[in-house]
Each structure stands twice: as C-alpha cells, then as structure tokens.
Amino acid sequence: MISAIRADGELFLTMQQTSFNSAGIIKFLKELLAAIEGKLLIIWDGATIHRSKEIKSFLADGAAKRILLERLPGYAPELNPDEGIWHYLKHVELGNVCCRDMADLGDKLTAAYQRLANKPEIIKACFSQVGLY
C-alpha cells in the first residue's frame, strides 16, 4: 500500500496484493493528478523504486509540469508526515486487531483509513509535527 496526504487533511491510499513496482507508483500518481487540481508537491523517501527509469520517463513525458518531487534525506522518518499517519493507523485505529488473512487485513485497513479520513485534525497534526504546517 502507498498513501498520499494533503496539508489540508485529505488522505489518499491505494493497496494491492503485490509489492509496488514503477507501474503501480505511476498509476497512483496518475490517480492523484486526476483527483487533485493544480500542482502537486510529492515528498518521498529515497527508495530505489522512486528513482526508476519508468518514473523518470513518466515525469519527462509531461507529468513534471504538475508534479514537483522532493526527496527526503536518508533515514529521516522524523521529517516524513506519512510516518505519523502510519503510526496512528497501526497504534490507534488498528491496535490489537487480529486478522484471519490478507483479505481481512485489507478490509480492516480500509475501514481504519476511512475513519482516519474523517479526522483531518489528526492528519494536519502529522504535518505540524514535522514542521510543514
């Protein structure tokens, strides 16, 4: 799963059964471009997948007109507002949850995400905690 958060408290999440590859990342970026007007600032870590030839080509083919990428320094989770989101989901919304299988985990994560999506103050606090809001 990957997520995106907006400083105004809106949350976007996508899940899939397999690990994300460049095609999955590009699909998610296209979904964000369709859902959000104007320019997007994407802050992400230095994962190899974020620097792939496919991602660079996607940006060069026009997406860079609306997407500005900022890479976090290595090993700096304290600068990433998404870390606060995942911490909240794991320790508050999904604390002590036991799942039967991966499908059940997906259902419970989706429900937890929907609950969190209705709490923009929590999402804004994750930005504030890293000094971005």
The pLDDT tens digits of the residues spanning 22-49 come to 999 999 999 999 999 998 888 888 788 8
pLDDT at position 42 is 86
| Tally of residues, the chain | 133
Radius of gyration of the chain (CA): 15
81: its two tokens = 């507002």
Count of the separate structural domains present in the chain: 1
pLDDT at position 9 is 75
CATH value at residue 61: 3.30.420.10
* Alpha carbons 120 and 128: distance in angstroms, whole number: 12
Q: Using CB atoms within 10 Å of the CB of residue 131, give its burial: 0 to 12 exposed, 13 to 18 middle, 19+ buried.
A: exposed
pLDDT at position 126 is 87
pTM of the model: 0.81
Give the other-Cβ count within 10 Å of 1's Cβ: 13
Q: How far is CA 68 from CA 71, 109, 131, in A?
A: 10, 29, 19
Question: What percentage of the chain exceeds 90 in pLDDT?
Answer: 44
Q: Which domain holds residue 28?
A: 2-129
The pLDDT tens digits of the residues spanning 79-118 come to 888 889 889 999 999 999 999 998 999 899 999 999 998 9
SS3 of 20, please? coil
User: How sure is the predictor about 131, in pLDDT bands with cuts at 50, 70 and 90?
Assistant: confident
Mean pLDDT of the chain: 88
* Alpha carbons 34 and 42: distance in angstroms, whole number: 15
